[in-house]
A and B are shown apart, each in its own frame.
Chain A
Amino acid sequence: MTGPDRPAGHGANPADGRIVVDNLTKIFGDQRAVDSLSFTVEPGSVTGFLGPNGAGKTTTLRMLLGLVRPTSGSATINGMKYEALPRPLQTVGAALEAASFHPAHTGRQHLRIYCAAAGLPARRADEVLELVGLGQVSRKKTKGYSRGMRQRLGLAGTLLGDPKVLILDEPANGLDPEGIRWLRGFFRHLAGEGRTVLVSSHQLAEVQEVADRAVILNRGRLVRAGTLGELSAGTATTVVRGPALGPLQQALTDAGFGGTSEPDGALRIRTDQLAHVGHLAFTHNVELHELRLEEFDLERLFFSLTEGEHQGADLDPPGRGQRPGLPYQQQGGAR
């Protein structure tokens, strides 16, 4: 398949850059951290890897990178296990959670060590440091780095070998707003070059902006995977506000629409047929102050799919009752 001498990146082979996770399971003690997980990351796509804390994202990525041994199943990149890749850093760039550096090494020394290991010229370290905006501090010891600087140094490390595939575990952690904006542009840039990016993140709005696809995980199991278009299908929501919506609510139920009423009195109806709703309001003589189609929101979808499963007390459950297919129901006991 991929010969050792083929330059990495910008490859023409369509299978180049595909990540396949097949029936992957990891059991820690008696806990199934990853449970029969299967999904594919298509070459040249930016795929968000999402799930609540403890869902098994990091464990999956570590198995993909040959750092954690799967209990069963397999994970391959370009059809090969990570250990079998002839030039790993030129093929895959990975930055895992809790990026780790020797505190007495400077950022530059850290990267040069891996340049040497991968047979890359030492100046590549300076190039990627400039790229991630660490040029100024490249000769400072990493023990003096802030969290965001560490995060950037980890990202710099992924770029050393100019790889076609990037695997990033929560790269936005610890970045300031400027850094997050920079990261967004960075993803766009990578995607524009046809690279495959698999990125785990809790920044759902960010993911929605840059990702083409998402893989959603909960308690080690796959919940949903697909393009954002596929994931958003059937989640269209029309929001209606007005002083007295009771008759409209009845009419909607009669007409077979499902949805919820919010504590503030607004109705959220699972449809994209604005005209139909507007017409029902008109014929039932209901005064409307707002009638709009709500945009797809990955965060809402995420919470509806993983609702009640995330650990910790639920202080402010956004998007409750968004589970598709439930009957029209009242929310929060309003009115």
Chain B
Amino acid sequence: MINLIRSEVLKIRSTQVWFWMALLAAAFTALGTIGTVVEAVNAHDRGDVVDYYAVFTQSQGAGVALLVLGLLGLTTEFRHKTITPTLLATPNRWLLLAGKAASYAVFAIVYALICVLLNFAIAIIWLSAAGVPLDYGHGVPGGVLKAFLSLVLTGMFGLGLGALLRNQAAAMVFGIVYIFILDNVLNFVPWVRKGYAWTPGGGLKAFLSNGHIEGMPDDVHLLAPVAGGLLFLAWALALLAVGGRFSLSRDIS
């Protein structure tokens, strides 16, 4: 298994995708941090409670990067037909999926380190300059850990989606449309949104929250954070299982 993870990490390191994804992750983190810090400064000036949890968990912005890595995990192999030598080296499809998923944990650590540092650096400098006191309570440490776990899960989710779709372009388009459009549609359209809590996006949102989420319609009742995390994990595993069972065991020719 260690060998397999080394091989998969090497695969990703051998192209520049991981570097551009690091930049993208940093950009999302920076934007998220700036948004929540501005909000925090305003709240402080108004004399409201400052949402420190939101400010210090923006490293979750690296999720896009992990989603892309995950989506590319198998679709690139199908596109360039490297799936053949890959399966010759690792004939067991489930082992291969596990190895790839584990390699995203490695990248999640790297991206999380970069993004947590960036998140904290921007927030601390800005809040101090604006005279807002720093406070790492309010579930911040747990939130940072959950942000990291969400990256690992997102990588697995992308991998499963890619395994299922096999086509790189289709997987990328679907992934992007899902996060930026479909997810918002699902939690907005009346009736439909009643099921939102059970979608992958709903699970992930619940997981990353500290229990109460603002800006959701009244009839959307997200799960508790841990339950949301488990739901998202279940989605990822289900995609991996279906992808592994039906897509990966098809003839490779």
Q: Residues of A with Cβ closer than 8 Å to B?
A: 58-59, 62, 65-69, 82-83, 85, 88-89, 92, 94, 96, 98, 100-106, 109, 112-114, 116-119, 157
Contacts and interface: CB of A to CB of B under 8 A. Distances in A.
Contacts of B91: 66, 82-83, 85, 88
20 contacts: A65-B88, A66-B87, A67-B251, A67-B252, A67-B253, A88-B89, A89-B88, A92-B88, A94-B88, A96-B84, A100-B84, A102-B15, A102-B80, A109-B10, A112-B10, A113-B11, A114-B7, A117-B6, A117-B7, A118-B3
Interface residues of B, number: 26
Interface in B56-102: 76, 80-82, 84-92
B53 to A, nearest CB: 40
A68 B87 CA distance: 11
A102 B84 contact: no
A101 B84 CA distance: 10
A69 B251 contact: yes
A135 to B, nearest CB: 19
Contacts of B6: 116-117
Nearest to B4: A117
A142 to B, nearest CB: 9
Nearest to B6: A116
B84 A117 contact: no
Residue of A92, A103, A104, A117 with most chain B CB atoms under a 10 A cut-off: A117
Nearest to B14: A109
Given A62-B252, A69-B251, A98-B81, A116 B3 contact: yes
A113 B80 contact: no
Nearest to A67: B252
Contacts of A117: 3-4, 6-7, 86, 89-90
Interface string B211-253: 0000000000000000000000000000000000000010111
Contact of A100 (B11, B14, B82, B251): B82
A69 B88 contact: no
A94 B4 CA distance: 19
A114 B85 contact: yes
B88 A104 contact: no
B59 to A, nearest CB: 28
Contacts of A157: 85
A29 to B, nearest CB: 12
A105 B6 CA distance: 16
Contacts of A106: 14
A100 B4 CA distance: 20
A98 B7 CA distance: 22
Given A69-B249, A113-B11, A114-B7, A101 B80 contact: yes
